[in-house]
Amino acid sequence: MIDQLKRACAIAKKDVSIYYLKGPVIIFGILFPVFLFLAFVIGRDLPVDFLIAGLLSMTIFFTSMSITPVIAPTETQTRNLERLVSAPVSITTILLGDMLASVLFGIGISLVPILVGMAIGVTVTHPFILAAGIVLAAFCFSAMGLIFSSTPTSMTSTVMMISTMVKFPLVFISGIFIPVGELPQWGLVLASVSPLTYITDLCRYSFQGTSYYPIWIDITALVIFLIIFMTAAVKLHEKSLPERL
């Protein structure tokens, strides 16, 4: 177990050095959520803490999912995947390494809206809950990105198109732009099946002191989604790996 964890960390280090400045990571991980957020807030009179909480949750969501979908198709194209598979590492270890790189990226970029909020006077009333939520959400969304990368293709554009088709609707049903409590009944049902809803709720609680769900439900939901996404990712990659080699 310790050896596999060390190998996963080595894979993560390799991913960090290669993929952090890739075009899809910059565009879909940073620029896309920023411009989407600005398009929503410009001209609207909304509380600053509400806006920062929404920006933070969307930043975690997009940045944590920006690297994991890119790695597998890129390494299929460059034939690096063959080298990894021939090494004494399991598929789970490879995916864990990819996920760790994405988690680091997501956590690092998520500090930006927090610092911006603090600079303009927003107070983090529950910093420990916010930190726990960011870390847990980063792992959850990174695992979700691994599911998209299981598509047996060497074209990153194909994977990013599929992931965007899923991510874009989730943004609008997860309480970022409209609080969950103000959604109609059908909207509440849709929001409850989105992992983004629960980190958004945690961010609102951390900044504003109020939340729609109890905090333990938010945390439990993120843990459950993480387990589901990681299990699904391992199974799907085991199935698609022979088609990549």
Measured CA to CA in angstroms, residue 234 lies from 94, 122, 145, 150, 241 at distances of: 10, 40, 12, 9, 10
Q: What angle do CA 195, 201, 202 make, to 5 degrees?
A: 95
User: What is the model's pLDDT at position 196?
Assistant: 93
Measured CA to CA in angstroms, residue 123 lies from 62, 77, 101, 127, 174 at distances of: 24, 46, 29, 9, 23
* Lookup: tokens for 237: 């990659």
Q: Write out the chain's pLDDT in tens, 245 residues.
A: 677 788 888 878 877 777 776 666 666 666 777 777 777 777 667 788 888 888 889 888 988 887 888 887 877 777 777 777 777 778 888 888 888 888 988 888 888 888 888 888 888 899 999 999 999 999 999 999 889 888 777 777 777 778 878 888 888 888 888 888 888 888 888 999 999 999 999 999 999 888 889 999 999 999 999 999 999 999 998 888 777 66
Query: How high is the mean pLDDT of the chain?
Result: 83
* Lookup: tokens for 70: 């890119």
Residues in the chain: 245
111, HSE (Cβ side, Cα atoms, 13 Å):
5
Domain layout of the chain by residue ranges: 2-244
Whole-model pTM: value is: 0.87
Looking at 91-180, list the stretches that DSSP marks H as alpha helix, in order from N- to C-terminal side: 91-119, 127-148, 156-173
DSSP state of 28: I
User: What is the model's pLDDT at position 136?
Assistant: 95
User: What is the model's pLDDT at position 21?
Assistant: 64
Q: What is the pLDDT of residues 106-118, one digit of tens each?
A: 888 888 888 888 8
Q: What is the pLDDT of residues 15-32, one digit of tens each?
A: 777 777 666 666 666 677
